[in-house]
Amino acid sequence: MGANDSTGIASAIGQPVLRKEDARFLTGTGQFTDDVTMTRQTHAYFLRSPHAHATIRAIDVKKAKAAPGVVGVFTGADLTGVNGLPCGWLITGTDGKPMNEPPHPVLAQGKVRYVGDAVAIVVAESIDQAKDAAEQIEVDYDVLASVVSSVDALKPGAPQIHEQAPGNRCYTWALGDKAAVDAAFAKAAHVTKLDLVNNRLVPNAIEPRAALASWSRADDAYTLYVTSQNPHVERLLMTAFVLGLPEHKVRVIAPDVGGGFGSKIYLYPEETAMVWASKRVNRPIKWAAERSESFLSDAHGRDHVTHAELALDKDGKFLALRVQTTANMGAYLSTFASCIPTILYATLLAGQYTTPAIHCEVTAVFTNTAPVDAYRGAGRPEATYVVERIVHQAAVETGIAQDELRRRNFIREFPYQTPVALNYDIGNYDQTLDAANEMADVAGFAARKAEAKQRGKLRGLGYASYIEACGLAPSNIAGALGARAGLFEAGEVRVHPTGSVTVFTGSHSHGQGHETTFAQVVAARLGVPVDNVDVVHGDTGRVPFGMGTYGSRSLSVGGTAIVKALDKIIAKGKKIAAHLLEAAESDIEFHDGKFTVAGTDRSKTFGEVALTAYVPHNYPLDKLEPGLNETAFYDPTNFTYPAGTHICEVEVDPETGVVQVVAFTASDDFGNIINPMIVEGQVHGGVAQGIGQALLEHCVYDTSSGQLLTGSMMDYALPRADDMPAFQVDTKVTPCTHNPLGAKGCGEAGAIGSPAALMNAVLDALAPVGVTHLDMPASPHRVWKAIRQARPNA
Amino acid sequence: MSVSLALNVNGKPVSAEIDARTLLVDFLRNNLALTGTHVGCDTAQCGACTVHLDGQAVKACNVLALQANGRAVVTIEGLAAEDGALHPMQAAFRACHALQCGFCTPGMVMSAIDLVNRHPNADEATIRAELEGNICRCTGYHNIVKAVRQGAAEMGR
């Protein structure tokens, strides 16, 4: 199996160390939010809007309040002094004005704007009593016309969702040099045009969102257990912006969290209302979403409609890219909604290519649907889909081989300044393309295609050479672009007197294996066994601060904060060792867990130094504080740029339209790797979600009623084991130049490259029957229909 | 309506007075504090609540606690030996990195054991087809399939 149970010293880096966290998950002793129970705990049920758009004339809660077991019923009218939920990124439009930012009430205020919009919270002794009481609430709705598609919402006469957003427009924003793009198109030898829909997705972490809120009369303090990827951000937003509570009086704990994929980044109405209500009822309140609630109320992903044009010269060199996108924001702006189709999307449109001129215009639109925000990849899968689909189409139109057209346009000199604001520090795109070609046996594809044809099947091969920007990112630049928060990370390293170590990180692990990877980093640096290092995360009461986990930033940003704290530990250790060894501090070297006087065999172990720090009998107390506990905050100087090539091979049954993914190959460059086993697992999972998007998943609202049609796992097709192929994955390394770990991030790459690779493969397979366009998901019905439309008499 | 219930859970006799409509999963989680069995959906699709009832994998969200009356239930907490040694399937999941967030894992392991009991020499296609009732959003199933094969080999020894 090639994996180690535990490993020592410097060799910990790059080893497939088995995960520390597995012991509890495999024995049922993990502690997820819904597993936590408090004495005198009550249960919450949220009454949600059954209508996509309606005015609330009146709400009568009298009967519900008198129902058996009810402890409290609250509606928007009760939340006096409570602000709306904030959006964390201000986008300034092409008109120079700030985006339209309508209020996002915790509980509906006079109007509901999507099916599932929370109207009231019912708190009762049992969940059944809370549900029964909710049925007694009488809401007098005046139902209004609704609109669910972003394109329809922009049309004249469309239902108006917010007074503060005329025409349902949140903003129109642009990036790039329009004049340069227009000039390049004017002299192009060939122009490829494409209309694309990036289908709306429901994240579906397998643990539904949950919360347990309590208030203590003893110290007027709150504790919130919540399914969050970033508990400090949750606390800051909730206390400072919404509830007006002192931040130090609220402890937010995100214990074991069962997957997030972006959907657990945000501050949601439910836990906010529960914290507020916990003091009113003076009882702990528990809520766990039912899956149907998750479908209705978790922030959704993607939902872009795009027109793109690529200009090429006669040799297939890209001259310019022009992109226009309409992005669906849903009914309200979720926490980071506004930056996803802008800052994290348009900036990636250079891809791996030297395209000298790029212009992208994005219109963000309110609709009567659940809020849309970051979902695994967040803007970058959408950008990659545009770039790699249009490059595929350009290759088809120009007759240049898919890999050759990409090679002709690869960036090869670094650092590289793109025309869309990013500065790529390093990469080697030929390397990953070549490796993918070899692993996927592209040379043998023609024979496999011919063999498939004998069986009546259409075989296709598709490429996606993606890039992403991870490790968000310099706070000053993000601030200039509208971010309302910093984007650093914090780490604390506490060395105990016996030399074992506890690390407190602001990153949050909800499947990524930080407890192991971060322990490997610490073990390697301090020369202690991995088993002597514990990693604590997800608790504002224990961790100094944190921005949390999203955007594949945990190792490159959170890991670097830990490395910076380790540097301080070692620097202090050298002072202590110099004292003990009666040598100059500058002569002390630290290797393999030992402080040594350079050029001698005189040394002190890390454990001896740690003990001296806490038992400072022989210690320079006049010059140095006792103890060995250091904290560091790290703010990156640039994004990191993971990149790679994915190749997908499919077989289509033209009789049924069924697409089978027969092979999927990923060659990725994530920079230096700490734990290859975990990295491979991240790629597998990302690819599965990308294949899910391209093949199966599709969130659909009924256009006339605004009802969610795909509201359960029986209507929304999640990938299952028999939908997936075995994956071939491999990594190449160009170390990131600007963080000490040389790490770039690996969490999202799989979901970024795979949708385009799969759709390109499907279109390659369908080319012989005349199908030239298909939108995701490539479901049997859609594929079958496309074949029939292309060949009506077939 | 309150009813009496007596069954065996993880090798120990258990009895309780419960509301007749109590689901087995809620009885395990709320009455017995066996929170390793999870609830991931409300339509019997995800399989996170899978336990063994008289040796057969069932979705505990779709079984009334009363239906387990007089029968034997094994949950994820009941798999490891008294001395803490993991069941071969648990060990294989760890060795193959077949879990990430860990939420689907208990149900996945319980299904995997049932699968191997019924198909000791299952090939990859059979394993994938048999895992159809358990959804994992993290792993892409690649390492789960690997783990089930490895666990099957160990269980067969």
Q: B57 in a domain, yes or no? A: yes
> Is B38–A258 a contact, with Cβ atoms under 8 angstroms apart?
yes
Instruction: Output the pLDDT for position A236.
Output: 96
Q: Indicate yes or no: CB of B94 within 8 angstroms of CB of A19.
A: yes
Quote the DSSP letter at residue B31. I
Task: Work out whether the CA dihedral B130, B135, B136, B140 comes out positive or negative.
Answer: positive
Residues B60 and B121 in one domain: no
Structure confidence at residue A205 as a pLDDT band (50, 70, 90): very high
Q: Which of A21, A713, A750 sits opposite B46 (nearest CB)?
A: A713
Residues B150 and B92 in one domain: yes
pLDDT score recorded for residue A609 = 98
Residue where one domain finishes, among candidates B77, B96, B112: B77
The DSSP symbol for B85 reads: P
- In this complex, the residue of A26, A204, A688 whose CB is nearest that of residue B93 is A26
**What local confidence, expressed as pLDDT, does residue A792 receive?**
74
B72 and B10 belong to one structural domain: yes
Residue B144 falls inside a structural domain: yes
Between β-strands A221-226 and A250-253, what pairing exists: parallel, antiparallel or unpaired?
A: parallel
In the prediction, which pLDDT does A552 show? 87
CATH number, residue B104: 1.10.150.120
Q: What single string gives the DSSP state of each residue in A552-613?
A: T-IIIIIIHHHHHHHHHHHHHHHHHHHHHHTS-GGGEEEETTEEEETTSS-EEEHHHHHHHH
Contact A724 B42 (CB under 8 A): no
Q: Which residues in A lie closer than 8 A to residue B134 (C-beta atoms)?
A: 721
Is B109 a domain residue? Answer: yes
**CATH code of the domain in which B24 resides:** 3.10.20.30
CA distances from A511 to A515, A672, B108, B139 (A): 10, 20, 15, 9
CA distance B24 to chain A (A): 16
Same domain, B62 and B115: no
Give the per-residue pLDDT at A6: 40
Percentage of chain A exceeding pLDDT 70: 98
**pLDDT 10s digits, A309-322:** 999 999 999 999 99
Same domain, B93 and B146: yes
Residues of B in contact with A225 (CB under 8 A): none
Sign of CA dihedral A161, A162, A166, A170: negative
Identify the pLDDT of residue A5: 41
Chain B residues lying within 8 Å of A684, measured CB to CB: 139-143
Query: Is B40's CB within 8 Å of A206's CB?
Result: yes
Rounded to a whole number, what is the distance in Å from the CA of A474 to chain B's nearest CA? 29
Averaged confidence pLDDT in chain A: 96
Residue ranges making up the domain that contains B120: 88-156
Q: Which candidate in B52, B103, B110, B130 is best for mutational testing of the A interface (most A CBs within 10 A)?
A: B103
What pLDDT is stored for residue A485 in this prediction?
Answer: 86
pLDDT at A729 over 70: yes
Average pLDDT over residues A25-52: 98
The closest CB to that of A713, out of B35, B41, B138, belongs to B41
Q: How far is B28 from chain A (nearest CA, A)?
A: 12
| Statement: residue A7 has pLDDT above 60 | no
> Is residue B101 included in any domain, yes or no?
yes
For residues B18 and B29, the answer to whether their CB atoms sit within 8 Å is no
B92 lies in some domain:
yes
Q: Is residue B82 part of a domain?
A: no
The single-letter code of the amino acid at A687 is: V
The residue type found at A466 is Y
A206, pLDDT greater than 80: yes
* Of the residues B58, B77, B96, the one at which a domain ends: B77
Q: Between residues 730 and 789 of chain A, which touch chain B (CB distance below 8 Å)?
A: 750
Partners of residue A359 on adjacent β-strands: A176, A322
**Would residue B83 count as lying in a domain?**
no
Residue A551's pLDDT band (cuts 50, 70, 90) = confident
Q: Is the pLDDT of residue A457 over 90?
A: yes
In Å, how far is A775's CA from the nearest CA of chain B?
23
Q: Can you list the domains of chain A with their CATH numbers?
A: 376-471+639-790 (3.30.365.10), 488-634 (3.30.365.10)
A126: closest CA of chain B, how far (Å): 12
- The total number of structural domains in chain B stands at 2
- Whether the CB-CB separation of A427 and A352 falls below 8 Å is answered with yes
pLDDT tens for each residue of A733-754? 999 999 999 999 999 999 999 9
Q: Which residues of A touch B141 (CB under 8 A)?
A: 684, 688, 719-721, 724
Q: What is the SS3 assignment for A675?
A: coil
Query: Is the CB of B109 less than 8 angstroms away from the CB of A26?
Result: yes
Shortest alpha-carbon distance between residue B126 and chain A (Å): 9
Residues B72 and B117 in one domain: no
B146 in the same domain as B97: yes
Q: Looking at CA atoms only, how far is residue B120 from chain A in angstroms?
A: 19
Between helix B142-156 and helix A676-695 the angle, nearest 10°, is: 120
Rounded to whole angstroms, the Cα distance separating A466 from A463 reads 9
pLDDT at A477: 87
Considering only CB atoms, which chain B residues are within 8 Å of A207?
Answer: 38, 40, 101, 103
Cβ distance A206 to B136 less than 8 Å, yes or no, reads yes
pLDDT of res. A794: 55
* Interface with A, mutate which of B30, B82, B100, B144 (most A CBs under 10 A): B100
Q: How confident is the model at residue A69 (pLDDT cuts 50, 70, 90)?
A: very high
What pLDDT score does A793 carry?
Answer: 65
Closest chain B C-alpha to A666 CA, distance in angstroms: 14
Test B101 with A511 for CB contact under 8 angstroms. yes
Give the residue on B whose Cα is nearest the Cα of A684. B140
Q: How far is CA A174 from the centre of its chain?
A: 23
Distance from CA of B7 to the nearest CA of A (A): 20
H-helix segments, B5-141: 24-26, 88-95, 105-118, 124-130
Q: Check whether residue B71 and residue B101 sit in a common domain.
A: no
Chain B residues closer than 8 Å to A261 by CB: 137
**Residues in chain A within 8 Å Cβ distance of B95:** 1, 3, 18
Do B150 and B105 lie in a common domain?
A: yes
Strand order in the sheet with A594-597: A588-591, A594-597, A603-605
Measured between CA atoms, how close is B6 to chain A, in angstroms? 23
**Does residue A9 carry a pLDDT above 60?**
no
Query: What mean pLDDT comes out for the span A478-499?
Result: 93
Residue of A nearest to B98 (CA): A681
Q: Which two tokens stand for residue B8?
A: 């065996």
Which residue on chain B is closest to A750 by alpha carbon? B140
Inter-chain CB proximity B140 and A713 less than 8 Å: no
Q: Compute chain B's Rg from CA coordinates.
A: 15
Extract the tokens encoding A117. 């919009």
User: Which chain A residues have a beta carbon less than 8 Å from that of B49?
Assistant: none
Residue tagged 């340069």 (tokens): A180
Same domain, B44 and B111: no
Same domain, B92 and B35: no
Residues 699-718, chain A, touching B (beta carbon < 8 A): 712-714, 718
**Domain C-terminal end among B77, B106, B130:** B77
CB nearest to B35's CB, from A26, A35, A513? A35
How close does chain B come to A722, measured CA to CA in Å? 5
Distance between terminal CA atoms of chain A? 50
Task: Give the residue among A208, A182, A519, A149 at the shortest CA–CA distance from A368.
Answer: A149
Q: What residues of B are in contact with residue A721 (Cβ under 8 Å)? A: 127-129, 131-132, 134, 136, 141, 144-145
Percent of chain A with pLDDT over 90: 96
Please provide the size of chain A in residues: 794
Give ipTM to 2 decimals. Answer: 0.98
Please tell me the distance from the alpha carbon of residue A432 to that of residue A424, in angstroms, as a whole number: 16
Q: Which residues of A are less than 8 Å from B132 in CB distance?
A: 720-722
pLDDT confidence of B1, banded at 50, 70, 90?
A: confident
Question: Is residue B68 in a domain?
Answer: yes
- Cβ–Cβ below 8 Å for A685 and B138: yes
Among A residues 345-374, those touching chain B with beta carbons less than 8 Å apart: none
Put simply, the answer to whether B43 touches A714 (Cβ < 8 Å) is: yes
Query: Is pLDDT at A1 greater than 50 in this prediction?
Result: no
Q: What is the pLDDT of residues A341-387, one digit of tens each?
A: 999 999 999 999 999 999 999 999 999 999 999 999 999 999 999 99
Which chain A residues touch B145 with a CB distance below 8 Å?
721, 726
Chain B residues inside the 8 Å CB shell of A678: 97
**Model pLDDT for residues A219-262, shown as the tens digit of each residue:** 999 999 999 999 999 999 999 999 999 999 999 999 999 999 99
Interchain contact, A685 vs B101, CB within 8 Å: no
Q: How far is B44 from chain A (nearest CA, A)?
A: 9
Residues B71 and B92 placed together within one structural domain of the fold: no
Number of A:B CB contacts under 8 A?
Answer: 183
Q: Which of A29, A32, A714 minimises the CB distance to B103?
A: A32
Q: Do A27 and B76 touch (CB under 8 A)?
A: yes
Interface of A with B in 20-59 (CB under 8 A): 21-32, 34-35, 37
Q: Are A506 and A459 in contact (CB under 8 A)?
A: no
Q: Give the model confidence (pLDDT) of A327-351 as tens digits.
A: 999 999 999 999 999 999 999 999 9
